[in-house]
Amino acid sequence: MEDWKKVLAQSITKPNDLAKQLGVDEKEVEDIVGPYPMRITPTVLATIKEKGDAIWKQVVPERIELDDIDAPDDPLEEDTDSPVPHLVHRYPDRVLLMVTNQCPIYCRFCTRKRLVGKPGFLKKGELDQAVAYLREHSEVRDVILSGGDPLLLPDYLIERILKALRSIPHLELIRFGTRVPGTLPQRITPELCEIVKQYHPIYMNLHFNHPDELTPEVKEACGHLADAGIPLGAQTVLLKGVNDDPEIMKRLMHELLLARVKPYYLYMADLTKGTNHFRTSVETGLKIMQALQGHTSGMAVPHFVIDAPGGGGKIPLLPGEYLLNLDEKGAVLKNYENKTYFYPQPSTTDNRELPMVGTSVSRDMCSAGAMDDYS
Ligand SMILES: *Cc1c(COP(=O)(O)O)cnc(C)c1O
Ligand code: SF4
């Protein structure tokens, strides 16, 4: 057996093992892992410092998950947007393909809590069906391998999938969405890197939520992927009690860059059943973005998005105050230090029809002293 499979097999999946390791109530955990499976890899277990800390909260089942009975199972309506099983085609030119429902850890806040970790996900022929759909749909130029976690598949299956996708001429990009490098770094083997780099351009977006996740061995695993020529992005979910704090978030973004990972998305948590105790206010997210933008490397600033309930897709949010006014004369702007600046429009009249809703301020403010800093 490959080394990483042995490590994965040492993960905590049973309530009595969790009780032994972390001293939680076995009975309580038993009720939860029926509907919502648990897995905690050795790497993640070693990162837990104390009861209820940021790593603990992400992986240790809590009774409150079962109290969340009124929430939807599939708030993003992914199932509605699936023309064939496990393929979500929501945007014009790209699709999300769930190639497995197994993950190295089962995040308690997972947006696909309805699916992950349960038996009997991918049925025979379904992957061929998805590939056939992609072959017929020449508008699709970007496919995201997701799940579950695609890097939990064995090497030969990853290779088979990449080969099948690369036989479709109009497919330009292949991306992986994965939490493996941060939770099961042993999986990032030289053999895996060797396979993946045959199918460039391949991108990976790695899931990280807290700076403590970036241990030396995790950073090394990220380095192997980067050395294989794979541009690495990070996806982070804003989670109450985990990272809903500007200082923690800034540390996370810095650690990611040190691991050669570029922050890509910061998500508001979804409304998924069993996860609502992790949600924070939108204002918390905006404050975090405000604390990053301009205050640290632009490379460290992710896009802050809400994946709209009902299948609207990702919608970007900016703290509203940067554009104070826009008219035919120019843009009144506020910078990260709350100073106001003016950017004059060019004298030509092209492209003046962009509607800017909700950014108007009174003309008085624009003409009377609000632009002291512009010269
Ligand atoms: C997030 C997502 C994508 C990719 O979105 P990008 O903004 O291009 O990263 C594609 N399809 C679905 C269904 C998604 O949820
Ligand atoms: S790794 Fe991703 S898909 Fe798997 S449980 Fe965590 S959030 Fe969900």
* Confidence check: pLDDT of 131 > 60: yes
Q: What is the pLDDT of residue 90?
A: 96
* Confidence check: pLDDT of 367 > 70: no
103 is catalytic: yes
Those residues whose C-beta lies under 8 Å from the C-beta of residue 364, and which sit 6 or more positions away, are none
Q: What is the pLDDT of residue 369?
A: 40
Cα gap 251→246, rounded to integer Å: 9
What is the reported pTM?
A: 0.93
The domain that holds 260 is classified in CATH as 3.20.20.70
pLDDT in tens, 157-168: 999 999 999 999
Give the ligand at the shortest distance from the Cα of 89.
1
Whether residues 311 and 341 share a domain: the answer is no
- In sign, the C-alpha dihedral spanning 196, 199, 203, 205 is negative
Given 270, 273, 279, 366, the catalytic residue: 270
Those residues whose C-beta lies under 8 Å from the C-beta of residue 243, and which sit 6 or more positions away, are 54, 209, 210, 236, 249, 252
Whether residues 284 and 297 share a domain: the answer is yes
Given 14, 90, 135, 334, the catalytic residue: 90
Whether residues 294 and 339 share a domain: the answer is no
Given 79, 314, 334, 341, the catalytic residue: 314
> Token pair for residue 367?
């003409």
Q: For residue 20, is it within any domain?
A: no
Whether residues 348 and 232 share a domain: the answer is no
Neighbours of 63 (CB within 10 A): 11
* Confidence check: pLDDT of 365 > 90: no
Given 108, 133, 307, 366, the catalytic residue: 307
Give the ligand at the shortest distance from the Cα of 144.
1
94 is catalytic: yes
* Confidence check: pLDDT of 350 > 60: yes
pLDDT in tens, 58-114: 999 999 999 998 999 999 999 999 999 999 999 999 999 999 999 999 999 999 999
Whether residues 218 and 346 share a domain: the answer is no
260 is catalytic: no
Ligand 1 pocket by C-beta < 6 Å: which residues? Answer: 88, 90-91, 94, 96, 144, 314
- The chain-wide mean pLDDT, for the chain, equals 93
Give the ligand at the shortest distance from the Cα of 41.
2
- In sign, the C-alpha dihedral spanning 359, 361, 366, 372 is negative
How far is the centre of ligand 1, averaged over its atoms, from the C-alpha of 123 (Å)?
Answer: 24
Neighbours of 219 (CB within 10 A): 18
Residue 370 structural domain = 321-374
Domain end, chosen from 292, 318, 344, is at: 318
Whether residues 226 and 333 share a domain: the answer is no
Whether residues 311 and 247 share a domain: the answer is yes
pLDDT in tens, 222-247: 999 999 999 999 999 999 999 999 99
* Confidence check: pLDDT of 204 > 90: yes
* Confidence check: pLDDT of 39 > 50: yes
* Confidence check: pLDDT of 47 > 90: yes
Band of the pLDDT at 319, cuts 50, 70, 90?
confident
DSSP E strand boundaries for the chain: 87-88, 94-98, 142-146, 173-178, 202-207, 232-237, 262-267, 303-308, 313-316, 323-326, 330-334, 340-344
Domain end, chosen from 303, 318, 333, is at: 318
Give the total number of structural domains in the chain: 2
Q: What is the pLDDT of residue 312?
A: 94
Whether residues 254 and 335 share a domain: the answer is no
Band of the pLDDT at 353, cuts 50, 70, 90?
low
Q: Whose CA is nearest to atom 7 of ligand 2?
A: 110
In angstroms, what CA-CA distances link 112 with 64, 109, 272, 327, 355?
A: 17, 9, 8, 44, 36
Mean pLDDT over residues 136-154, rounded?
A: 97
Ligand 2 pocket by C-beta < 6 Å: which residues? Answer: 103, 106-107, 110, 112, 116, 147-149, 179, 207
Whether residues 205 and 314 share a domain: the answer is yes
Q: What is the pLDDT of residue 49?
A: 97
Mean pLDDT over residues 24-43, rounded?
A: 96
Residue to substitute in 79, 94, 237 for testing ligand 1 pocket (most ligand atoms within 8 angstroms of CB) = 94
How far is the centre of ligand 1, averaged over its atoms, from the C-alpha of 329 (Å)?
Answer: 37
How far is the centre of ligand 2, averaged over its atoms, from the C-alpha of 260 (Å)?
Answer: 22
Going by their DSSP bridges, the two strands 323-326 and 232-237 should be labelled as unpaired
Percent above pLDDT 90 for the chain: 89
Whether residues 194 and 212 share a domain: the answer is yes
Band of the pLDDT at 54, cuts 50, 70, 90?
very high
Q: For residue 240, is it within any domain?
A: yes
